[in-house]
Amino acid sequence: MSETTSPSGELKRGLKNRHIQLIALGGAIGTGLFLGSAGVLKSAGPSMILGYAICGFIAFMIMRQLGEMIVEEPVAGSF
């Protein structure tokens, strides 16, 4: 297993090829879901936009809480 800290005790920062690929895959899936929702919007109407906004807000709050946890106690490794 490789070390996740540098000799000075700070975390290493860097993106590997697999990280870039996963970011690109997530972007492609997100775009596909957004474009694919046009048919649902046509049949369901404005209620679909409300549901989309509610789910987006929940995802935003989860990411914000994860960010606060990371800032509170930055450690090398997973949770």
Q: Tens-digit pLDDT profile for the chain (79 aa)? A: 455 555 666 767 788 898 899 999 988 988 888 888 888 888 888 888 898 899 999 999 999 998 898 888 877 766 5
In a domain, 11, yes or no: no
**Among candidate residues 28, 4, 27, 24, the one with its CA nearest the CA of residue 14:** 4
Residue 74, token pair as written in the block: 């930055």
Confirm whether 42 is domain-assigned.
Answer: yes
Instruction: Report how far residue 55's alpha carbon sits from residue 62's, in angstroms, rounded to the nearest whole number.
Output: 11
Domain count, the chain: 1
In a domain, 26, yes or no: yes
pLDDT at residue 63, as a whole number: 94
- At 2 the pLDDT is 52
> With a threshold of 0.85, does the pTM exceed it?
no
Question: Quick check: 11 and 76 in contact, CB under 8 A?
Answer: yes
- The CA-based angle 31-65-48, given to 5 degrees, is 40
